[in-house]
Amino acid sequence: MHSYALQAFVSEPLKPIIDTVAFSPSYGIYFSQSDKGGLVIGGGLDRVPSYGQRGNTPLQDQVLGGLVEFAPVLAQVKLLRHWGGIVDVSPDSSPLIGPSPVPGLYVNCGWGTGGFKAIPAGGFLFAHLLANDQHHSVSRPFDLGRFESGFLVDEGAASGIAH
Amino acid sequence: MQQFPCPFCGLRDETEFHFAAEAGKVRPDTAGAEISSEAWAKYLYFQRNPKGATREIWMHTTCREFFILERDTVTMEVTGAQALREDEEA
C-alpha cells in the first residue's frame, strides 16, 4: 500500500453550463458543476507518495492546463479553493476486503480514488462478511490472500485509469 | 515546484524523478530452497508506507540512474540523497 495526495478544485459560482460529468483520460481531468454553480475539477494522483494534505504544484499545472485545453471557455474562471486528500493505493489499485491476520479483525480499505463511488456495494459486501464470517462471492477476489496466490484484480488496467 | 537532489546531477525539478520502491527490501534468494508464496508476496507487494521519515529508491529519468532518496512524507522535506553504491558517487 502506498499513500498519495489526490487533489480537487472548486471554482467560483457560475451560471449553469454543464449538467453531467465531463471526463477526458487524454487530458487527465474531469469536471462537473454543483447545484450552487461551482465547478468541481479533478485529475490524477500526485506522483510523489505523501501524507502531506496539500498536494504538489506540477499536478495543479497538469489538471488546470488540461481543463483549459479540454474546455477553453473556462480559461478565465477563477478558483475558489483547492485541497489534497490522502488516498491509499494498493499494488493492483483494487480495494482490500476480508479477514486480517488478526482473528476477529476485518479490513475494508485501500479503495484508492474510487471509494466514494463504490462504497455502497463495498459496505453491503463487508456487512455480509461480518455477519457470516465468510466472503460474499463478489468480494472473495478482493481478499488479502490474492497477493500470495497471484490472482491480482488489476482495476487500473481494466478501467484505463492512470494509477 | 519542488526540487529533488540527484547524487549525480544536483538539484532538478521533481517532475524529472520517478518513485521506484522503498529502500532496504531484500529479494528472496532463489539459489537455495524453494521460496514460499508468503515470502514472495512480502517482497513484491507489502510496504511499510511510513508517515514521516522514509528511505526510498528513486530514478532520475534524465540520467537514468537509480539512487536513495531520504525524505519526510508529511512535510515533503528532503533530508538526503546518495548513490546506491558509494563508489558510484560522482
Mean pLDDT, 10 residues at a time, over chain A (163 residues)? 94 96 90 96 91 89 95 96 92 93 94 84 96 96 94 74 54
| Contacts A–B by Cβ distance under 8 A | 51
Q: What is the four-CA torsion angle of B19, A10, B74, A116, rounded to 10 degrees?
A: -80
Instruction: Look at residue B88 and tell me whether its pLDDT is greater than 70.
Output: no
B39: contact with A, CB 8 A cutoff: no
Range in A124-128, A153-157, B12-16, B69-73 with the lowest mean pLDDT: A153-157
Selecting from B1, B49, B74 the residue whose C-beta is nearest the C-beta of A52 gives B74
Confidence grade of residue B33 (pLDDT, cut at 50, 70, 90): confident
Indicate the pLDDT class of residue B46, thresholds 50, 70 and 90: very high
The closest alpha carbon to B56, from B19, B89, B88, belongs to B19
Contact A66, A28 (CB under 8 A): yes
Q: How far is A45 from chain B (nearest CA, A)?
A: 13
Q: Which of B14, B37, B47 sits opposite A48 (nearest CB)?
A: B14
Residue B89 has pLDDT above 60, yes or no: no
Q: What is the pTM of this model?
A: 0.86
Q: Which residues of B touch A52 (CB under 8 A)?
A: 73-76
Determine whether the interchain pair A50/B51 forms a contact, defined as Cβ–Cβ distance below 8 Å. Answer: no
Beta bridge partners, A79, equal: A11
Provide the grid cell at A107. Answer: 479490513
**Nearest-angstrom CA–CA distance, A28 and A110:** 22
Per-residue pLDDT, A49 = 94
- Of the candidates A1, A51, A56, which has its C-beta nearest B51's C-beta? A51
On the question of pLDDT at B45 being above 60, the answer is: yes
Instruction: Using pLDDT thresholds of 50, 70 and 90, give the confidence band for residue B11.
Output: very high
Cβ of B41 and A49 within 8 Å?
Answer: no
- Which triple of cell numbers denotes residue A17? 453550463
Q: Which residue has the cell 486480517?
A: A100
Identify the closest residue of chain A to B71 by CA–CA distance: A50
Average pLDDT of the residues in B27-52: 92
